[in-house]
A and B are shown apart, each in its own frame.
Chain A
């Protein structure tokens, strides 16, 4: 039951008791939490009893206008800002920007750099899915999975720290290759991580996936049909849970993804449990990619020879990559100078969030956390 203090206004002028027994409507605010937390999302929810009538997301609490800032940053500098968008996929954000600049410069990246980039991307994807798994289980009321997930994620963070010098906002992939070569311990540590992860991933299934309480809370909750997923522009595990083939790594392969053996994971039910299963199965695929590459890093340069100041020719360049959340598009409009004239980040979270209202209508308020959990929202990615 909701206390009086949480109720902001009744839309129809009915009394609170009318709304609670299902004869009127009331609006409640969910969030924002404290502004110092890493992401604040404010949902205004119209309720009839416990049934959701409408959800209106209010964005912008962490809006930094990254697109405007990028207009005055050079093609090397703007990499650093983009790590702060989807901070759980910062390697992949950097990668998308680097690919766009390389497309403009028609720059060939050395094979060693390509393999390192893909290794970093997949490590990031596992780390991101781990955090999602822990946080989602916590949303649904279980605390233990969070510690399990962070135990393994910490290993990845240590690998990142050693090679990139940072644990979250790496700024490691830049135009032409990567910023510096991998640490001598890198291969050894990634191999030991693969061993560790393979021995632990089954615990995840035992603890959460097979648990009947979790299954009941996720199955048939927040169903998104295939057509709606496409229409709302959903990508990544959210769309693949609805049966849309949208993995950019398969459709428009970049770097060496076309030479790798991995499956595109799709589920058909479109509910929260499908989205959950897509991410769990994707972690297995990422491990497989790591195994294929870790002993096959080619020798050679880790960076192409580039000028100190990059100038893109006049024109428009669009690149898309698959982040842990879906399709990230980077659209650069260049006038031939050292800074972009206009840059647009088509972030996956923004489109995924827009489907929330549609999928939640008619559900119970208590199911909302399951839907939001499996949408895997990262607010700085939405607000930018």
Chain B
């Protein structure tokens, strides 16, 4: 399957998606509200994206971007899905019921970026202590006690 055909397929499934092909893989930018149904389609369609190999977040100061790297163990196609979130109240649906690995990865992102995953079975801080204040991987995070500026 060529990337062009695959791109057409996604444009059909989700007409609001925008594409970016400057990088190594096809990047698909979607609205956060579309993510859950889109993820289910990707997982259940004949393309069968069954392997979520990276889930992370980037703080662009004006907005947060969730980045999902998906691939399929059957046909080795890789796709990167991105969704922009509002930094004041970042919220997106969980995909831990579709890819089990997301459960830990989403907890990590919640811990370090403060993104809330709706419907996550156990959304607690994973690495830091429960009483920690702030989200350390945000660009505006300042820790006067422990931070060593380089």
Q: B73 touching A73 by the CB < 8 A rule?
A: no
Given A230-B73, A346-B53, are A68 and B101 neighbors across the interface (CB < 8 Å)?
A: no
Residues on the A chain within 8 Å of B25, using CB: 318
Residues on the A chain within 8 Å of B58, using CB: 333, 341-342
Q: A358 touching B100 by the CB < 8 A rule?
A: yes
Question: Which residue of A65, A245, A344, A346 contacts B136 across the interface (Cβ within 8 Å)?
Answer: A65
| Residue B9 CB within 8 A of the other chain | no
Q: B54 touching A68 by the CB < 8 A rule?
A: no
Residues on the A chain within 8 Å of B129, using CB: 60
Q: Specify the chain B residue showing the minimal Cβ separation from A74.
A: B150
In B78-121, which residues have CB < 8 Å from any A CB?
99-101, 103-105, 108
Given A344-B54, A346-B54, are A232 and B150 neighbors across the interface (CB < 8 Å)?
A: no
| Residue B50 CB within 8 A of the other chain | yes
| Residue A156 CB within 8 A of the other chain | no
User: In the bound complex, how far is the Cα of B22 from the Cα of A342, in angstroms?
Assistant: 18
User: In the bound complex, how far is the Cα of B51 from the Cα of A270, in angstroms?
Assistant: 18
Question: Which residue of A231, A344, A383 contacts B127 across the interface (Cβ within 8 Å)?
Answer: A383
Query: How many chain-B residues does the 8 Å CB contact rule pick out?
Result: 31
Q: B127 touching A63 by the CB < 8 A rule?
A: yes
Residues on the A chain within 8 Å of B24, using CB: 317-318
Most chain A CB atoms below 10 A, which of B54, B76, B126: B54
Q: A230 touching B51 by the CB < 8 A rule?
A: yes
| Residue B52 CB within 8 A of the other chain | yes
| Residue A351 CB within 8 A of the other chain | yes
Most chain A CB atoms below 10 A, which of B76, B99, B104, B126: B104
| Residue B56 CB within 8 A of the other chain | yes
In B108-150, which residues have CB < 8 Å from any A CB?
108, 126-129, 136-137, 149-150
Residues on the A chain within 8 Å of B104, using CB: 350-351, 353-354
Q: B54 touching A329 by the CB < 8 A rule?
A: yes
Given A73-B150, A351-B101, are A233 and B51 neighbors across the interface (CB < 8 Å)?
A: yes
User: In the bound complex, how far is the Cα of B56 from the Cα of A318, in angstroms?
Assistant: 13
| Residue A367 CB within 8 A of the other chain | no
Question: Which residue of A246, A318, A333, A341 contacts B69 across the interface (Cβ within 8 Å)?
Answer: A318
Residues on the B chain within 8 Å of A245, using CB: 73
Given A232-B100, A233-B99, are A60 and B53 neighbors across the interface (CB < 8 Å)?
A: no
In A327-345, which residues have CB < 8 Å from any B CB?
327, 329, 331, 333, 341-342, 344
Q: A354 touching B127 by the CB < 8 A rule?
A: no
Residues on the A chain within 8 Å of B149, using CB: 72
User: In the bound complex, how far is the Cα of B112 from the Cα of A68, in angstroms?
Assistant: 10
Q: B23 touching A244 by the CB < 8 A rule?
A: no
| Residue A59 CB within 8 A of the other chain | yes
Residues on the B chain within 8 Å of A350, using CB: 104-105, 108
Q: A231 touching B100 by the CB < 8 A rule?
A: yes
Residues on the B chain within 8 Å of A233, using CB: 51-53, 99-101, 105
Q: A344 touching B100 by the CB < 8 A rule?
A: no
Residues on the A chain within 8 Å of B103, using CB: 354
Question: Which residue of B53, B99, B127 contacts A327 across the interface (Cβ within 8 Å)?
Answer: B53
Residues on the B chain within 8 Å of A316, using CB: 23
Q: A230 touching B50 by the CB < 8 A rule?
A: yes
| Residue A18 CB within 8 A of the other chain | no
B interface residues (Cβ-Cβ under 8 A, vs A): 22-25, 50-54, 56, 58-59, 67, 69, 73, 76, 99-101, 103-105, 108, 126-129, 136-137, 149-150
16 further contact pairs, Cβ within 8 A, besides A73-B150, A233-B53, A346-B53: A60-B126, A60-B129, A63-B128, A65-B137, A228-B100, A233-B100, A233-B101, A251-B76, A331-B54, A346-B56, A350-B105, A351-B104, A353-B104, A354-B100, A354-B104, A355-B100
A interface residues (Cβ-Cβ under 8 A, vs B): 59-60, 63, 65, 67-69, 72-73, 227-228, 230-233, 244-246, 251, 315-318, 320, 327, 329, 331, 333, 341-342, 344, 346, 350-351, 353-355, 358, 383
10 shortest A-B CB distances, which residue pairs?
Answer: A233-B101, A60-B127, A354-B104, A72-B150, A344-B56, A231-B100, A346-B54, A342-B58, A63-B127, A232-B100
Q: What are 7 inter-chain pairs, A to B, with CB distance below 8 A?
A: A69-B150, A233-B99, A251-B76, A329-B53, A346-B53, A350-B104, A383-B127
